[in-house]
Structure 1
Amino acid sequence: MNPGMVIPVPVLLSLLAAFALTIVPLPGAIATARPEWVLLVLVYWGMAFPRRVGILVAFLAGLFLDVLQHQLLGQNALALAAAMFIVLQIYPRLRVYPLWQQAVVVAFLVGLTRFLNIWIQGAIGFPPGSNLYWLPILTSALLWPVVYHILRDARRRWLLHLT
């Protein structure tokens, strides 16, 4: 295997944490606003390591998310792969945006994944119950600066250990 294609340890650990945060039981009102943790982590690592964390990693993470959430196999995989494709197209510009502009892009990406998921769910006969379905767009955008700083610090610490 090409050493350039190995997924860094912080990426794997942060994805595991994102999966855990995705399935942690929450009260009903808060559960509808749950941020898209896996997407947030993938966006950050797609910007940081675009050659290592790409569409395939997003697709595989989406498949794992489908299994965790008992959803149609491939539903989240398609949505996350589409979002990662966009991230990989714009990551040089996205890196230099201020955090508030990155949060706007993240809101768009979450909206895209939510739209793709609602489209697939509607096609198989399971539309969402209310407009609260769209609330994770807001919560994900608001939490983006926190996720960004946590993952940036983890990446810097990991790189210091390598030298």
Structure 2
Amino acid sequence: MWIKAGLFPLLLSYVLAMVLMVMPLPAFLEPWRPDWLSLVIIYWLLAIPHRVGFGTVLILGLLADILMGSVFGIYAIALLLIAYPTVRHYQRIRNYSLTQQALIVGLLVLVKRAVVYELEHVLNDAVFLLPYLYPVISSAIIWPWIYLVMRKYRRRHLIR
């Protein structure tokens, strides 16, 4: 039942994104780690907004809070804030070129990172360092490949 409905492959992509969030990287690459969960959520919101909605984003955000050990709700709020414009303008964004989409994805990841930083700063006195914004650049750069791989994955597993 799950495989036919495409639910299992969808859940598998979320799990993979969360694994990539915490997977160890060499020290010089760590600051450049793309925001994998945001990229996967943005892709699914653009591709199948009728199946992936705010409830899914909220649950994934709460799971990310647990996974990252942050204050409960920070990632959930930030992901919901980037999900709204994505869902609101998904038809327009889907028609943009991959370069234009990459710029929009970079902007969305920047908003998410800014919200997470502000909440962490208010709640935990986090200090801002420039490398905190490196994932914005790496996420925008990697978006065209993520988009193409995820589209092939969606078509192969008949996720509609």
CA offsets, 1:24-53, max 9 Å, x none? 012332111110000000001001110111
Deviation string, structure 1 residues 130-160 (Cα, Å, up to 9, x no partner): 2110000000000101110111001111129
Q: How far 1:115 sits from its partner (Å)?
A: 0.5
Match of 2:49 in 1: 50
| Distance in 1 separating the partners of 2:78 and 2:127 | 16
- Consecutive unaligned residues of structure 2, counting only runs of 5 or more, are none
Deviation at 1:7, TM superposition (A): 6.9
What is residue 10 of structure 1 aligned with on the other side?
A: 9
Report the Cα distance in structure 1 between the residues aligned to 2:148 and 2:9, rounded to whole angstroms: 14
One-letter amino acid of the structure 1 residue matched with residue 39 of structure 2: L
Q: Secondary structure at the match of 2:57?
A: helix
Distance 1:14 1:103, change over 3 A: same
Residue of structure 2 equivalent to 1:27: 26
Counterpart CA distance in 2 for 1:60 and 1:133 is: 24
- Counterparts of 2:37 and 2:28, CA distance in 1: 20
Kept in 2, the 8 Å contact 1:7–1:53? The answer is: no
Task: Indicate the RMSD between aligned Cα atoms, in angstroms.
Answer: 1.8
Residues 103 and 145, structure 1, Cα contact 8 Å, conserved in 2? yes
Deviation for aligned residue 1:129:
4.9
Work out which structure has the larger RCO, using CA pairs closer than 8 Å and 6 or more positions apart in sequence. Answer: 2
Identical aligned residues as a percent: 34
**Which residue of the partner structure matches residue 3 of structure 1?**
none
- Distance in 2 of aligned mates of 1:156 and 1:44: 13
Structure 2 equivalent of residue 155 of structure 1: 154
Query: Which residue identity is paired with 1:79?
Result: A
CA distance in 1, matches of 2:158, 2:42: 19
Give the letter aligned to residue 23 of structure 1. Answer: V
* Unmatched segments (≥5 aa) in structure 1: 1-5
Tell me the TM-score normalised to structure 2 length.
0.92
SS in 1 for 2:143: helix
C-alpha distance in 2 between matches for 1:7 and 1:45: 12
Shift of 1:65: 0.6
- How does 1:1-163 map onto structure 2 within 5 Å? 8-159=7-158
C-alpha distance in structure 2 between counterparts of 1:71 and 1:125, whole Å: 10
Residue identity in the other structure for 2:56: V
Paired residues of 1:47 and 1:94 also in contact (CA < 8 A)? yes
| DSSP 3-state at the match of 1:29 | coil
Query: Do the aligned partners of 2:6 and 2:157 also contact (CA within 8 Å) in 1?
Result: no
Normalised by the size of structure 1, how large is the TM-score?
A: 0.90
Q: What displacement does 1:20 show?
A: 0.6
